[in-house]
Amino acid sequence: MSGHSSHSSLLGLGEVAKELFCFLPIHDLFPLFCASGACCGLCRLSLSTLRLQAFGSGASEALLWLVKLPLTDRGASIREINASFCHLTSATLQQLPQLPALERLNLDGCQDVDDEGLAAIATRCRSLKSFSIYWNVKVTDEGLGKVLRAQPCGRLQELCFSGCKFLSDETLQRIIGRAPHLQLLDLTRCPKVSDLGATLVCENLPELQIFRLYAMAQLNPSAFAQLQRLPLLKELDLCGCRSEDDHVIAFLAQAETGVLQTFNLTWCCALTDATMLAIAKYCTRLKWLSFFGNLNVTAAAVEALAASSCGSSLRYLDLRGLAAAFPYGDGTRGAGEVRNLFPQLISTELHH
C-alpha cells in the first residue's frame, strides 16, 4: 500500500476506530502493526494513550519498556499516561525520558510517589493539561510547586489533589499564577487549605467548571462568601462543609442560568429551606442533588422543589435523613414517597 493510500485509509477509519484500538490490550497491537500502513498508523495512535492497569504489578516495568519503543517515538509521541492505582514509584518516574507531548498524567493512588518523583515529572513533562494525584500522603507544596512551575502559563485545565494532606495555600497560590484558565480543581480532604486559600480560588479562577471541596470541614462559613465569583460551575461539591444559606444563595443567584448540573450538599447541616427554594428558583437544569443528613429542610421545601423546573430536570436526588421533611426523609418509606414526587428519578441513594 502506498503512503498516500495508507494515509487515506487511516483517515477513513476515523476517531471511532482510533478509540477501539486504544482499548485493545497492548500486546495485541503488535501483530496489527505489520498488517498495513493504516493499521500501523492506528497502532501508533493507540500507543499515544497508555493505560497501565492491565499490567498489574508489572506496570512500572511495562511503562519503562513502552517509552523505549519506536512505536511511541521513544516516549515523544505519548499524550496520556493513566497509572491510576498502578503503584508507580518515584524511582520509575526518574527513569523516564523526556515526554514532550504528554498532556494528561494520572497518578491516583500511587502512594510511593513523593516530592522527588514530582521533581522528575517537572523536568520531563512540560505540556500538561491535566494532572491527577489523588490519595497521595507524601507529596508536599514543594514538589507540587515544581510541577506547576514547569507548565506553560495558562495551559493547565484540570488538577485533582484529592487526599493530598500536605497541600496548603502555597500550592493554591501557585495554581492561580500558573493556571488562570483552570476548569477542574479537586481539593477533597486537603486539611491544610485555609479560608484564605479557598477565597483566593474563588476570586482568581473564574473559568472553573468543577470545584470539589468534599470533607473540608476546617473551612469557616466565610470561606464560601466568594463562591458567587464562579458563575460557570457545572459541579460544586460542598459535602461536609460548614456553608450557610446566604453564601450558597448568592452563588446560585450569580451563576449562569442552566449551567449547574451537580450539587452536593450532603452533611451541610447549617442549610435550611432557603437554600432548597433558591435551587428550585435558579437551577433549571440540575441533574444531581444531595441534601443527605440535613435536619433543617422541611417537606414544604421539598414539594416546592418538585413543582419547579428544577424538579423536572433532576435524575439523581438524595433526601435521606431529612428528619424535618417527613415522609420524604424517612428511612423506610421515604424513597417511595420521593419517587412519587419526582417520578423521573433514576436513583435516590447517592451518598454511601
Contact 315, 287 (CB under 8 A): yes
Question: Does the pLDDT value for residue 315 go beyond 90?
Answer: yes
Whole-model pTM: value is: 0.91
Give the pLDDT score at 87.
87
pLDDT tens sequence across 105-135: 999 999 999 999 999 999 999 999 999 999 9
Query: Residues 229, 258: one domain?
Result: yes
Among left, alpha and beta (phi > 0; psi -120 to 50; other), residue 111 is: alpha
**Measured torsion, CA atoms of residues 178, 184, 187, 192, in degrees rounded to the nearest 10:** 20
- Mean predicted lDDT score pLDDT of the chain: 91
Query: Residues 229, 344: one domain?
Result: yes
C-alpha cell at 320: 435521606
pLDDT tens sequence across 130-187: 999 999 999 999 999 999 999 999 999 999 999 999 999 999 999 999 999 999 999 9
Let me know if residue 104 belongs to a domain.
yes
List the domain range (segments joined by +) for residue 240. Answer: 207-352
User: What integer is the mean pLDDT of 279-306?
Assistant: 98
Let me know if residue 202 belongs to a domain.
no
Query: Residues 224, 329: one domain?
Result: yes
Query: Residues 290, 346: one domain?
Result: yes
Burial, 259: exposed, middle or buried (Cβ in 10 Å; 0-12, 13-18, 19+)? middle
Let me know if residue 199 belongs to a domain.
no
CATH number of the domain where residue 314 is located? 3.80.10.10
Give the whole-angstrom CA distance, residue 10 versus residue 287: 39
Cα distances (angstroms) measured from residue 135 to each of 8, 55, 138, 162, 189: 44, 21, 9, 6, 9
Question: Does the pLDDT value for residue 47 go beyond 80?
Answer: yes
pLDDT category at 351 given cuts 50, 70, 90 is confident
Give the pLDDT score at 332.
76
Query: Residues 243, 286: one domain?
Result: yes
Query: Residues 151, 232: one domain?
Result: no
Give the pLDDT score at 45.
80
Find the DSSP H helices in 228-285: 245-254, 273-282
